[in-house]
Amino acid sequence: MSKILIAANWKMNKTDNEVISFLKKLTRNNNIISQLEIIIFPSFVSLITAYNLLKKTRIKLGTQNISNKEKGAYTGEVSVSMVAPFCSYVILGHSERRIYFYENYKDVNEKIKLALKFKLKPILCLGETSNERKKGLVLKVIRNQLNMAIKSLSAKDIKKIIFAYEPIWAIGTGKNDKPEDTNLISSQIKRLLINRFNLKNEEIKIIYGGSVNLNNIEEFLIKAKINGFLIGKASLDYYNFSKIINLIKKQNDKKIFKPR
């Protein structure tokens, strides 16, 4: 059975000392169950600290970004080969990178290829703006983003990617998508990939991100046909995050939520 994925995207938060204090508490938590794949995404600066605290645990480490260049004279950039020894995952195509740092899906495509080359699993973010949603363009937008991001990838590559549906209007706003709508988009993403790459339903992993928190996660667990969550704000406070993990554990024990 595939695991429920909980990706904690800490964005530009937490100093090294704060990372240490959070991870010390998290690694003492007996509730980290084998059915969960918890992945922590600290800043580049804290990757080695986090790696040393997590290496003997089941908790995985990821990086929030990599450069689209493999190496060379690119001041301020961090290459995939610098982070690959410590990380298992990388977040790519996040809307904050696209909006504030002008990344496009051509860059994302290059980053995915580099990530795969260095055996990092990409979490590929896709999602529409509120205007696009109002105009009924969600599927068109997602299809375009997807086509650019996965250009010239193989079926074998696609199976290694986690697809994160992250409506831009839901990120950091406190307004989450309805699980029913998430199901609609996630089934469309699956259909596109199944038709194009001749894959089985269970070979495609889709997670949801956008204001997931303690108040709405239960509804998602009950209704959403997804493989997990990308959590920003609600993953920053240890006690809040551990309550989310406990809720997932409870639903999982009741067999309500099964990754599909």
Which residues, numbered 9-28, are part of the site for ligand PGA (CB under 6 A)?
A: 9
| Residue 82: CB minimum distance to ligand PGA, A | 23
Judged by CB under 6 A, the residue of 42, 93, 209, 259 near ligand PGA is: 209
Query: In sequence order, what DSSP letters do the residues of 109-146 get, joined into one string?
Result: HHHHHHHHHTTPEEEEEE---HHHHHTT-HHHHHHHHH
| Residue 174: CB minimum distance to ligand PGA, A | 8
Single out the residue of 111, 126, 146, 151 nearest to residue 208, CA to CA: 126
Which residues, numbered 28-57, are part of the site for ligand PGA (CB under 6 A)?
A: none
Which residues, numbered 218-257, are part of the site for ligand PGA (CB under 6 A)?
A: 230-234
3-state secondary structure at position 181: helix
| Residue 152: CB minimum distance to ligand PGA, A | 27
| Cα 162 to Cα 159: distance, rounded to the nearest angstrom | 8
From 112-120, 150-158, 189-197, 205-213, span contacting ligand PGA (CB under 6 A) = 205-213
| Cα 4 to Cα 23: distance, rounded to the nearest angstrom | 20
Judged by CB under 6 A, the residue of 39, 123, 171, 185 near ligand PGA is: 171
Distances in Å between the Cα of 208 and the Cα atoms of 123, 126, 130, 224, 235 are 11, 10, 16, 9, 14
Which residues are catalytic, by number?
94, 166
Nearer to ligand PGA, 80 or 125 (CB): 125
- Other Cβ atoms less than 10 A from the Cβ of 234: the count is 19
Burial class (CB within 10 angstroms; exposed 0-12, middle 13-18, buried 19+) of 16: middle
Q: How many residues bind ligand PGA (CB under 6 A)?
A: 13
From 28-36, 72-80, 186-194, 203-211, span contacting ligand PGA (CB under 6 A) = 203-211
| Residue 231: CB minimum distance to ligand PGA, A | 5
Residue 65 gets which letter from DSSP?
-
| Residue 153: CB minimum distance to ligand PGA, A | 22
| Cα 260 to Cα 36: distance, rounded to the nearest angstrom | 14
Nearer to ligand PGA, 193 or 244 (CB): 244
| Cα 121 to Cα 44: distance, rounded to the nearest angstrom | 17
Judged by CB under 6 A, the residue of 81, 172, 202, 254 near ligand PGA is: 172
Give the residues lining the site for ligand PGA (CB under 6 A). Answer: 9, 166, 171-172, 209-212, 230-234
